[in-house]
């Protein structure tokens, strides 16, 4: 793997939450996580069965495995390290081949790719018309953060999965935010994010950052997959924690799309506090 500490932390964040990912039952999670760590667990199948709303879609995954978005980032990094032809078109072919044997849940942007692959391969087109407003609209930047031409390349590869025009604003914002977390105070970094995003994102971010506790946050901000709410929740987590481990634990306890959020929480928190370290954790990449 390319020595990209930001990406490694992002993948850790994906794995950290997978054991409880997509459980939408805050009281159940609160009770389960009380007085113990809830990160890097095996899939808690019994808890999914107890939940009022949950999606147990990784039946064969183990502790240390990645969710779908994390796996896309992992496979892109491998492709860039190993492939002789490093273009979005070649990755479009590469990732389709990987997904034909992937043993896990394929999210909407992956399903879109699989549906259109044969037709678009004949047309030599890798860009999708599919509008996906999940965090995939900027997550690919973590693969390119420590590579050359990072924003331009991220935008090209992101178009394989979504046509979201917000990517043109969100990806430069993410680059600046990572740099600010290393060079400015967290308060200044958060203010700069608010100033650089479009109105729908800004409104959710302001709501989240004004919340005094997670109970209030869960009333104001959805824990589902949409990027507007997910980004707002990620920033709340950074504001209300003081270590990478604490940020990962809070992320899991909030429920919902915690693995996708965890990618961002971990990559961003490690700029403030360093990466999460434990001899007990093995990332399966």
In the prediction, which pLDDT does 2 show?
Answer: 41
C-beta of residue 234 within 8 angstroms of C-beta of residue 204: no
C-beta of residue 67 within 8 angstroms of C-beta of residue 106: no
In the prediction, which pLDDT does 119 show?
Answer: 96
Question: How far is residue 201's CA from residue 212's CA, in Å, rounded to a whole number?
Answer: 19
Nearest to 94 by CA among 108, 80, 109: 80
Show pLDDT as tens, one digit a residue, over the chain (285 residues). Answer: 345 789 999 999 999 999 999 999 999 999 999 989 999 999 999 999 999 999 999 999 999 999 999 999 999 999 999 988 899 999 999 999 999 999 999 999 999 999 999 999 999 999 999 999 999 999 999 999 988 789 999 999 999 999 999 999 999 999 999 999 999 999 999 999 999 999 999 999 999 999 999 999 999 999 999 999 999 999 999 999 999 999 999 999 999 999 999 999 999 999 999 999 887 677 888
Number of other CB atoms surrounding residue 3 within 10 Å? 7
Question: How far is residue 41's CA from residue 102's CA, in Å, rounded to a whole number?
Answer: 21
In the prediction, which pLDDT does 1 show?
Answer: 38
pTM of the model as a whole: 0.96
């Amino acid at each position: 793997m390319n020595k990209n500490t930001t990406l490694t932390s992002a993948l850790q964040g994906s794995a950290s939450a997978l054991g409880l990912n997509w459980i939408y039952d805050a009281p159940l999670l609160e009770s389960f996580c009380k007085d113990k760590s809830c990160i890097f667990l095996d899939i808690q199948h019994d808890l999914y069965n107890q939940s009022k709303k949950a999606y147990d879609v990784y039946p064969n995954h183990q502790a240390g495995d990645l969710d779908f978005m994390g796996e896309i980032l992992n496979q892109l990094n491998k492709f860039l390290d190993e492939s002789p032809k490093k273009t979005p078109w070649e990755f479009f072919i590469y990732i389709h081949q990987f997904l034909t044997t992937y043993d896990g849940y394929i999210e909407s942007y992956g399903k879109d790719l699989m549906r259109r692959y044969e037709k678009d391969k004949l047309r030599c087109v890798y860009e999708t018309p599919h509008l996906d407003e999940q965090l995939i609209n900027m997550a690919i930047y973590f693969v390119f953060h420590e590579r050359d031409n990072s924003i331009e390349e991220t935008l090209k590869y992101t178009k394989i999965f979504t046509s979201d025009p917000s990517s043109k604003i969100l990806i430069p914002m993410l680059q600046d935010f990572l740099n600010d977390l290393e060079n400015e105070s967290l308060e200044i970094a958060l203010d700069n994010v608010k100033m650089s995003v479009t109105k729908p994102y800004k409104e959710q971010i302001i709501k989240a950052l004004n919340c005094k506790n997670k109970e209030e946050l869960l009333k104001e901000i959805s824990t589902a997959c949409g990027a507007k709410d997910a980004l707002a929740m990620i920033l709340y987590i950074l504001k209300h924690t003081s270590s990478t481990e604490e940020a990962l634990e809070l992320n899991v306890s909030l429920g919902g799309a915690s693995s996708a959020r965890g990618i961002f929480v971990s990559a961003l928190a490690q700029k403030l506090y360093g990466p999460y370290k434990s001899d007990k954790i093995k990332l399966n990449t």
